Chains A and B, each alone.
Chain A
Amino acid sequence: MISENEVLKKFIDQLLQIDRLGAEKIFKAVQQQGTALQTVDKLIVPALEELGKGWDAGTVALAQVYMSSKICEELADCILPFPNQDGVEQPRMAIALLEDYHALGKIIIHASLRAVGYELHDYGRLTALELAQKVCDDSVEIILISTLMLRSAFQIKEVKRLLDDAGSPARIIVGGAPFRIDPLLWKEVRADAMARNVAEAIKVVSSCMMKIKMEEKV
Chain B
Amino acid sequence: MIRNKIKMTSMERVLTTLGHHEPDRVPFFLLLTMHGARELGLSIQEYFSKAEYVAEGQLRMLKKYRHDCLYPFFYATIEVEAFGADVIWFEDGPPNTGTPIIKTAEDILSLQVPEIHSTPCLVKMLEAIKVLKVQAQDNVPIIGAVISPFSLPTMQMRFSAYIELIYEQPDLFNRLMAVNQEFCVAWANAQVQAGATAICYFDPLTSPTLIPRDISVKTGFRVARQTLARINCPTVIHQGQGLTLSVIDDIASTGTTAAGAGSTIEDLATLKAACQSRLAVLGNLNGIKMRHWTSEQAEDNVKKAITEAAPGGGFILTDNHGEIPWPVEEDVLLAISEAVHKWGRYPVCRQTG
Contact = CB atoms under 8 A, between A and B. Distances in A.
Contact of B288 (A18, A55, A61, A182): A182
Nearest to B208: A61
A28 B94 CA distance: 47
Contact of B212 (A64, A101, A103, A104): A64
B270 to A, nearest CB: 13
Contacts of A2: none
Interface in A170-186: 177-178, 181-182, 185
B288 A181 contact: yes
Interface string B83-104: 0000000101110111010000
Chain B residues touching A, majority SS: loop
Nearest to A55: B209
Contacts of B94: 149, 151
B289 A182 contact: yes
Interface string A181-202: 1100100000000000000000
Contacts of B100: 101
Contact of B210 (A61, A152, A185): A61
B264 A102 contact: no
B210 A103 contact: no
A66 B211 CA distance: 10
Given A63-B211, A64-B212, A151 B326 contact: yes
A70 B207 CA distance: 22
A100 interface: yes
A58 B288 contact: no
Contacts of A55: 209
A38 B326 CA distance: 48
A21 interface: no
Contacts of B215: 61, 63
A107 interface: yes
Nearest to A64: B212
Given A58-B243, A61-B209, A104 B92 contact: no
A208 interface: no
Interface in A53-104: 55, 58, 60-64, 66-67, 99-104
B189 interface: no
B327 interface: yes
B166 interface: yes
Contacts of A178: 288
Contact of A181 (B211, B289, B327): B289
A150 interface: yes
B159 A149 contact: no
A63 B264 contact: no
B208 A58 contact: yes
Contact of A102 (B159, B246, B327): B159
Contacts of B327: 150, 154
Interface in A97-120: 99-104, 107
Contacts of B92: 151, 154
B158 interface: yes
Contacts of B72: none
A182 B321 CA distance: 13
B288 A149 contact: no
Given A63-B215, A104-B159, A181 B241 contact: yes
A181 B211 CA distance: 19
Interface in B195-228: 208-212, 215
Contacts of A152: 93
Most chain-B CB neighbours within 10 Å: which of A63, A101, A150, A152? A63
Interface string A42-62: 000000000000010010111
A53 to B, nearest CB: 14
Contact of B160 (A18, A60, A66, A182): A66
B43 interface: no
Contacts of A150: 93, 288, 325-327
A63 B212 contact: yes
Interface in A101-155: 101-104, 107, 149-152, 154
A177 B320 CA distance: 13
B160 A62 contact: no
B209 A62 contact: yes
Contacts of B90: 151
A204 to B, nearest CB: 21
A183 B325 CA distance: 17
Interface string B149-179: 0000010001110011011000000000000
Nearest to B243: A58
B326 A63 contact: no
A67 B163 contact: yes
A79 B97 CA distance: 38
19 contacts: A58-B208, A58-B243, A61-B209, A61-B212, A61-B215, A63-B167, A63-B212, A67-B163, A99-B96, A103-B160, A104-B163, A107-B160, A149-B93, A149-B94, A150-B288, A150-B327, A154-B327, A181-B286, A182-B289
Given A63-B163, A104-B159, A104-B163, 19 more contacts: A18-B167, A58-B246, A61-B208, A61-B215, A63-B211, A63-B215, A64-B212, A67-B167, A100-B96, A101-B98, A101-B100, A102-B154, A102-B159, A103-B160, A149-B96, A150-B93, A151-B92, A154-B92, A181-B287
